[in-house]
Amino acid sequence: MIDYNGRRFRDAAHAEGDGPVAAYRQHGDLLWADFSGGRVRRGSLSGLCHPDGTLEFTYTMVLADGTLLAGYCESTPEMLPGGQIRLHERWERYGPQAATGVSQLDEIVEPAGRSRVSGQG
C-alpha cells in the first residue's frame, strides 16, 4: 500500500501554483485531506486507500463565489521516474452543479532542506 500521509498534490493543469493544493493524511486504510487555493476557499475529502494504492473518497468544497460542491472520486496512482506520484482521477459531482470528469494530480516535491507535512490528525 502506498503511504499518502504527509504528501501534497496539485492539479497537473495548475503546475504554476495557482490552483488548489491538497495535504493528504493517512492512518492504515483511512485517508483524508484538506485543500484550498485558486477558486477553492476550502475543501476536504474522506475515504479509503486500497492495498494497490488506489483511492476512493467523497469530497466537499466551498468556492470563492460561495458555490458549494460535493462529489465522489476514484484515483489511480502512477509512479513517476523521479519517485513522485501522479493521481489519475475519475470524479462525479452531485447536486445543482452535477458533472463528471477526469483530472490528474501531481505530487508536489519540496525543495532540498524542506520537509513534507508530517503527523496524523
Which CATH architecture does the domain made up of 8-107 adopt? Beta Barrel (2.40)
Strand bridging mode 40-49 / 85-93: unpaired
pLDDT one-digit tens code per residue, 43-67: 999 999 999 999 999 999 999 999 9
pLDDT one-digit tens code per residue, 81-120: 999 999 999 999 999 999 999 999 999 987 654 444 444 3
Residue 70: CA count within 13 A, CB half-sphere: 4
pLDDT one-digit tens code per residue, 61-80: 999 999 999 999 999 999 99
pLDDT higher than 90, residue 1:
no
- Kindly write down the DSSP assignment for every residue of 25-92, as one continuous string: EEETTEEEEEEEETTEEEEEEEEEE-TTS-EEEEEEEEETTS-EEEEEEEEEEEE-TTS-EEEEEEEE
Domain ranges of the chain: 8-107
